[in-house]
Homo-oligomer: A and B are copies of this chain.
């Protein structure tokens, strides 16, 4: 016999399929004679019965899957988040369907569409660049979702974000305590909320600590990449700026700085200190090891999944949002200015 069906179990236990269903389902088990329930369960086990979630899903309009929308799994930022998510989803009986958008709004639309047609029960969205119309539409159609790493403007969607502002403040304070006063910021693209938040936090930290406030010291990178970071730093230096330290929008941008240092014979941390953001893997293997702001990625993922499961269970509960604290990992790329 092929993988046994509920009816097989019912027959073997001498009950009706409906009764077997009730017995097997913890939620409805109470409706059934304890004896019968026990018997059915035993039979099911001995037959190696496994419920077919597809059939169940068809009936209950629940698929037991949720969609994970991320830009690019290959970006080391995301695997730990995904693991954190799975860690919570799995014991809850849910599975995660991952899509990579490459931050392409068109792909994003299509992929979310395809996830919805697969009847996912909710979405965890970790892309920085969801277009607003799409977001609003999803909210309107009451698609359960939670945003990771970004807070949705205006829309009532739960989100789980690292406390970027606090992280940047940590970085700036660290540099200031080392004696730096002229600190540059290579900001992420202002098209991303993260880029905006971090840049704003940078400006206010510099201001609060009474360091040199010079608009020319904040440069926007066109992307969150090594190349864009290198380009931005080159622009800064070519414009004659000589910061003694730079706070990079993220680790990749910081890596771009390393490239420029190599090109131009600048020594880090002797000539310039650098702080990254994210604490990607293997940063401790760099030369010099990169000082950076660490984000509890796995925890973020886990928290996001919990938020989503809650939202699915109680669709009408108002959106909670969580801000996770960050920490600074001091390594070799920061030192007092000379």
The residue that A117 contacts in the complex, of B53, B76, B118, with Cβ under 8 A, is: B53
Q: A53-B118, A86-B98, A286-B286 are in contact. List 12 more A-B contacts (CB 8 A).
A: A52-B117, A72-B83, A73-B82, A74-B79, A74-B80, A74-B83, A76-B79, A83-B100, A95-B97, A96-B97, A258-B285, A286-B287
Which residues in window 108-156 of A have CB below 8 A to B? 111, 113-114, 116-119
Which of A54, A76, A285 has the most chain B CB atoms closer than 10 A to its own CB? A54
Q: Does A117 lie within 8 Å of B282, measured CB to CB?
A: no
A interface residues, how many (CB within 8 angstroms):
43
Per-residue CB proximity of A71-91 to B under 8 Å, as 1/0? 011101011101100100010
Does chain B have a CB within 8 A of A99? yes
Q: Does A116 lie within 8 Å of B82, measured CB to CB?
A: no
Identify the A interface with B (CB < 8 A). 50-55, 57-58, 63-65, 72-74, 76, 78-80, 82-83, 86, 90, 95-100, 111, 113-114, 116-119, 255, 258, 280-282, 285-287
Question: A117 and B287 in contact (CB under 8 A), knowing A97-B95, A100-B83?
Answer: no
Q: Does B54 lie within 8 Å of A63, measured CB to CB?
A: yes
Question: A99 and B86 in contact (CB under 8 A), knowing A54-B57, A281-B76, A285-B255?
Answer: yes
Tell me how far the C-beta of A140 lies from the nearest C-beta in chain B, rounded to whole angstroms: 13
Interface of A is mostly: mixed
Question: A79 and B73 in contact (CB under 8 A), knowing A96-B97, A119-B52?
Answer: yes
**Which residues on the B side are within 8 Å of A51 (C-beta)?**
117
CA distance A58 to B63 in the complex (A): 12
22 contacts across the A-B interface (CB closer than 8 A): A50-B113, A50-B117, A52-B117, A53-B117, A53-B118, A54-B57, A54-B58, A55-B58, A73-B73, A73-B82, A73-B83, A74-B79, A86-B99, A90-B99, A95-B97, A95-B114, A97-B97, A281-B282, A282-B285, A282-B286, A285-B287, A287-B287
Q: Does A64 lie within 8 Å of B285, measured CB to CB?
A: no
